[in-house]
């Protein structure tokens, strides 16, 4: 049972946009930065978004993040086949004194 809640799956067609949600509480998302990771099969997670809405260099502008209260979202526009992957949200939890993650969302590009 993950501390952060994500939908298990999401889908879209090439060129469309998709949004993945991440729900938490006041002790984690409500009071800390949120990050997002993309994981392709057989590889380590890759950082896509940090500090709620910041992109590391090399991450395209069609990928964006936002946070409101105790929830966060990852938006991907102009879907491509290579976006098909698992996506995870993460943040620090003040009560647990630990980094915590969502259970992951499998994105399918139809």
Interface with another protein (CB under 8 A): 2, 32-33, 35, 37, 43-47, 50-51, 54, 56, 88, 90-92, 96-104
CB of 101 to another protein, least distance (A): 4
On the 0-12 / 13-18 / 19+ scale of CB atoms within 10 A, 28 is: buried
In the bound state with another protein, the residue whose beta carbon lies nearer, of 64 and 101, is 101
In the bound state with another protein, the residue whose beta carbon lies nearer, of 75 and 103, is 103
């Amino acid at each position: 049972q993950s501390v952060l809640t994500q939908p298990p799956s999401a889908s879209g067609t090439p060129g469309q946009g998709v949004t993945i949600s991440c729900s938490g509480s006041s002790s984690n998302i409500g009071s800390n930065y949120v990050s997002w990771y993309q994981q392709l099969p057989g590889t380590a997670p890759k950082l896509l978004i940090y500090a709620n809405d910041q992109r590391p260099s090399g991450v395209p502008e069609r990928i964006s993040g936002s946070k409101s209260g105790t929830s966060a979202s990852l938006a991907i526009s102009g879907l491509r086949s290579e976006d098909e992957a698992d996506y995870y949200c993460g943040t620090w939890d003040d009560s647990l004194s630990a980094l915590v993650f969502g259970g992951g969302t499998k994105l399918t590009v139809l």
